[in-house]
Structure formats: C-alpha cells, structure tokens
Amino acid sequence: MKTAASLVIAAATLVMGTPVWAQFAKPEDAIKYRQSVMFLMSQHVGRIGAMVSGKAPYDAQAAVDNAALVAELSKRPWPAFVAGSDKGAIPTRAKTEIWVEQQKFKENQEKLMAETAKLLEAAKTNNLDNLKAAFGPTGGACKNCHDTYRKDV
C-alpha cells in the first residue's frame, strides 16, 4: 500500500511538476506562509521607514537588526508560491500571472533580495544618509512586484 502510494506520488510529480504538497500540507498553508513572511517584512521595513522619514529617532543598531531580518525574510516567500496555490481555502491576492511569467517573477524576487542586501550593507555603515539612500530602491522593489503581481482589494 505504502509503495503503491509512493508510486502514485512519484508519477504525479513527473506529470505535474513540483506539487503543492511537496513542502506544504495544503494550498492554504503555502498562502498563509507567504502572507506571514510578507507581513513580517512589512513590519520591519516599516520600522526602518519610520527612522528614514524622521517619525522615529535614528537608532543605528535597530536599523541593522531590522535590515538583517528584512534581508533574510526577502528570501523566504518564494518557495511558498508553489504550483496549485493560486487559490485555496483562504483568500490570496497573488495574481495567476505569477505562475505564467515564472522568469519575470523570479527577476522581481532577485531584485528584492539584491536591494535588501544593499539596505543591510547601508545600515551597517551606521550612517542615516546611507540608510535613506538604500531605502528608496528597497521600497521600489516591493512596489514594482506588488503593482505587477498583487491583486487590488
């Protein structure tokens, strides 16, 4: 029975590509996972944004800590955009184009990872002007991808 089930899974994998249950039990787990990462990213980008805009005092160590987390989190949503998770038991704003324009979507991911890595380097200089200069391009990478691949509500 176990062998038969494994064979079915192996055959299905060959036919359909990497299925949703490769890493997530169900589509809504993948949706919840990527939304959770995005939420955390927005919180920590927001903390840097507050310093950059002068709404919060500049704290060099806090900038580094937040930027390090953002740089790490920027790598994490992508495996959760698995095939078959364009819909699930919970709502998703991910556009179906994500699964059609895979190369273009990947370029957007790489842009975000590159910009957040630069943001972290800028934060480590302990210089607010450097942080400000790197913040714009990071926000731009967030926005470009959202404009293209996130449904309006």
- Asked if 76 and 44 count as a contact pair (C-beta separation under 8 A), the reply is no
- Asked if 55 and 116 count as a contact pair (C-beta separation under 8 A), the reply is no
**Binding status of residue 142 toward ligand ASC by CB under 6 A:** yes
Token digits of residue 109: 């991911």
Choose which of 87, 104, 106, 143 interacts with ligand ASC (CB under 6 A): 143
SS3 state of residue 150:
strand
User: In the complex, what is the shortest distance from the CB of residue 42 to ligand ASC, in angstroms, rounded to a whole number?
Assistant: 3
Amino acid at 81: F
Q: Is 120 exposed, middle or buried (0-12, 13-18, 19+ CB in 10 A)?
A: buried
Token digits of residue 51: 């310093």
Choice between 20 and 77, CB closer to ligand ASC: 77
User: In the complex, what is the shortest distance from the CB of residue 51 to ligand ASC, in angstroms, rounded to a whole number?
Assistant: 13
Q: Choose the stretch contacting ligand ASC; rule: CB under 6 A; options: 42-50, 88-96, 99-107, 115-123.
A: 42-50
Restricted to residues 82-111, the positions that interact with ligand ASC (CB under 6 A) are none
**Binding status of residue 139 toward ligand ASC by CB under 6 A:** yes
Q: Choose the stretch contacting ligand ASC; rule: CB under 6 A; options: 23-31, 62-70, 89-97, 135-143.
A: 135-143
**Nearest in space to 33 (alpha carbons), one of 20, 19, 16:** 20
- The structure tokens 């169900």 sit at 26
**Binding status of residue 46 toward ligand ASC by CB under 6 A:** yes
SS3 state of residue 94:
strand
Choose which of 36, 42, 127, 148 interacts with ligand ASC (CB under 6 A): 42
Task: Please tell me the distance from the alpha carbon of residue 111 to that of residue 143, in angstroms, as a whole number.
Answer: 11
The count of chain residues that interact with ligand ASC, using the rule CB under 6 A, is: 7
Contact set with ligand ASC (CB under 6 A): 42, 45-46, 139, 142-143, 146
